[in-house]
Amino acid sequence: MRLLFCGDLVGRSGRQALFDHLPGLRERLAVDFVIANGENAAGGFGITKKICQEILAAGVDVISGGNHSWDQREALGFIDGEPRLLRPQNYPDGTPGRGSGVFPAPRGRKVMVLNVMGRLFMDPLDDPFACVERSLARQRLGGTVDVIVLDFHAEATSEKMAMGHFVDGRVSLCVGTHTHVPTADTMILPGGTAYQTDTGMCGDYDSVIGMDKAVPLARFTRKLPTDRLSPASGEGTLCAVYVETDDATGLARRIEPVRAGGRLAATSFEP
């Protein structure tokens, strides 16, 4: 199976990068299934029902979340009715929504998507490793599902790398989100799991992690209260990872970084 995982969509610029480049990527790479992290999609903070519908209509199969999942309060009211919109699985019991799901893919195949949030320098949620262990006990790669994708939304590279090795051989792709900068460690781990510490963002890189530069610079240089952060509005770069899996085992055969548009150097490879 051929997968495309798109990093955090930051504001209008990030959404537009997705709308501009995803159709061509789906066609050129013959992608079977697309996941995108949408926790920053609405003005850089959270997601609305309208934006969620637009992202799904653009060709995304599942939208994952993170620590900004509830920044738009309306998400609390519609997430239960949209199974394709995930929030981190390790939120406490009773939190609206769900953190994982099994979704249909072409030719009768099944894709499990699992969204979990780290705890280092983040909110003190339930143990993400124990959460992942329980989730993987319910589905078996190459057995009950054909592909398993883990979006680990975390701050610390050490925690992300530890999670990659923790699930190696048990998921198809373990990929990090949240820090908005694509890392250069795209690889297949020894057990066959595709891995990248952070996918990067879909957004304007003439910015401070997607936000207009003026307010972050004032905060760093003067340590004074400032206006609210707002997303940068220049041309966005779509940052993603492309993965091919083995149909028999569900493990990765190939992983490639993807960058299109905006300020970052574009990638080009043959599927």
Residues with a catalytic annotation lie at 68
Residue 2 is encoded by which pair of tokens? 């051929």
Residue 59 is encoded by which pair of tokens? 């060709």
CA gap 40, 113 in Å, rounded? 19
Rg of the chain in Å (alpha carbons): 17
E-only strand ranges, 125-172: 147-153
E-only strand ranges, the chain: 2-6, 8-9, 33-37, 62-64, 100-105, 109-117, 147-153, 173-177, 187-188, 194-196, 201-202, 238-245, 252-260
CB 32, CB 61: distance < 8 Å: no
Nearest partner of 42 among 63, 20, 21, judged by Cα? 63
Helix (H, G, I), strand (E, B) or coil at 222: helix
CA gap 195, 262 in Å, rounded? 24
Nearest partner of 262 among 182, 154, 144, judged by Cα? 182
The residues, ordered by sequence, that sit 6+ positions from 50 with a Cβ below 8 Å of its Cβ are none
